[in-house]
Amino acid sequence: MTERKALVSGLKPDRRPSGTDPWSLIAARQATHGDFRSVAWVAQTLRDVFRHEIGWERLSIVKREVLDCIALKLARILSGDANCEGHYLDIQGYAELALIDIRAKETT
First and final CA of the chain: distance in angstroms?
A: 54
pLDDT for position 94? 98
Can you tell me whether residue 81 is helix, strand or coil?
coil
Q: How many domains does the chain have?
A: 1
| Residue 3 covered by a domain | no
CA atoms in the 13 A half-sphere facing the CB of 84: 20
| Residue 75 covered by a domain | yes
Residues spanned by the domain of 88: 35-108
| Residue 4 covered by a domain | no
| Residue 93 covered by a domain | yes
pLDDT for position 28? 87
d(C-alpha 49, C-alpha 37), whole Å: 18
- Predicted TM-score (pTM) of the model is 0.77
pLDDT for position 11? 44
| Residue 29 covered by a domain | no
| Residue 10 covered by a domain | no
Q: Residues in the chain with pLDDT < 50?
A: 1, 3-14
